[in-house]
Amino acid sequence: MLYLVEHFYSIQGEGKYTGVPSLFFRFGGCNMRCEGFGCIETLADGRELVGCDTLYAVDKQAFGAQWQAIEKVERLLEIFKSYTVPEDVDIVFTGGEPLLHANNPVFIAFVEYFIANHHRVTFETNSAVAIDFEQYPVYKSCIYALSVKLSNSGEPYSKRVCPEIFNSIITHADETFFKFTVDAKSLQSGLQDEIDAIISLAHKTDVTCMPKGGSKDEVESNTEAVIEYCKAKGFRYSDRLHIRIWDQNKGV
Ligand code: SF4
């Protein structure tokens, strides 16, 4: 089943297309949890859950009741058409991990609609879910922000670093770029080596780094160190505009 967590029209807050007006579709479910990111969600019963800044799109048990089950592509198109947006507005598929739904016929039909209508479609992916490009060639026409998780995510290496998968995406897709989430403390304890090692396993593509943080304060505390790191390595720095502007608010 395909679950839509939220949809909203905003500007892209991070990555290569920062600042571009984009319509976001956030789908539910993820193959990771990333407790290392340390964002806390407090449930109605007072329980505290730890994960990434989109834990509400990751943990089906805790938040699934708020997700919308989608059975037909017509429902997704109805949502899209309810927006007043530029004709060729950028579309961003995010999550959770949106590619968990890559084989779902409803999801594929939704992607096909946008590609056929000349939208730029970007997937924000953890790069650990394989795509069958031969069976579903529409995915070749998309852009992939390859957000390979680092050790600061708290996920095990074998789960988060999957060269066969990210190299298949780099090889087949129209456009890709790595998007690493970096924090000042980890930079002091060897995160650079981790990033270098991942890049050494990958086919050539652009590299973008952005400061870790689920809140404005945390993003600010990591910004300068990440900028200095990008300057030293020649990587593109990406801010996290949506967090800097709207802090911990969702759906923006
Ligand atoms: S892979 Fe992304 S969406 Fe999934 S838990 Fe990690 S940061 Fe969150």
What pLDDT score was predicted for residue 164?
A: 98
How far apart, in whole angstroms, are the C-alpha atoms of residue 180 and residue 210? 6
% helix, strand, coil for the chain, step of 5: 40, 25, 35
For 193, the token pair is 């080596």
Q: Provide φ and ψ at 131, rounded to 5°.
A: -115, 140
Taking a C-beta distance cutoff of 8 angstroms, is the pair 209, 187 a contact? no
Instruction: Report whether 132 contacts 161 (CB < 8 A).
Output: no
Q: Which domains does the chain have, with CATH numbers?
A: 2-182 (3.20.20.70)
Residue nearest to atom 7 of ligand 1 (CA): 52
Ligand 1 within 6 A of CB of 32: yes
Q: How far apart are CA 74 and CA 17, in angstroms?
A: 28
> Dihedral through CA 77, CA 82, CA 88, CA 93, nearest 10?
-60
Please list the rounded mean pLDDT of every run of 10 residues in the chain (252 residues).
Answer: 97 93 98 93 93 95 97 98 97 98 98 98 98 98 97 95 98 97 90 95 96 90 96 95 82 66
Model pTM score: 0.94
What's the CA-to-centroid distance between 84 and ligand 1, angstroms?
A: 30
The amino acid at residue 128 is: A
Q: Indicate whether residue 191 lines ligand 1 (CB < 6 A).
A: no
Among the atoms of ligand 1, which is closest to the Cα of residue 128?
A: 1
Q: Is the CB of 152 under 6 A from ligand 1?
A: no
Which is nearest to 52 in space by CA: 70, 40, 66, 69?
Answer: 40
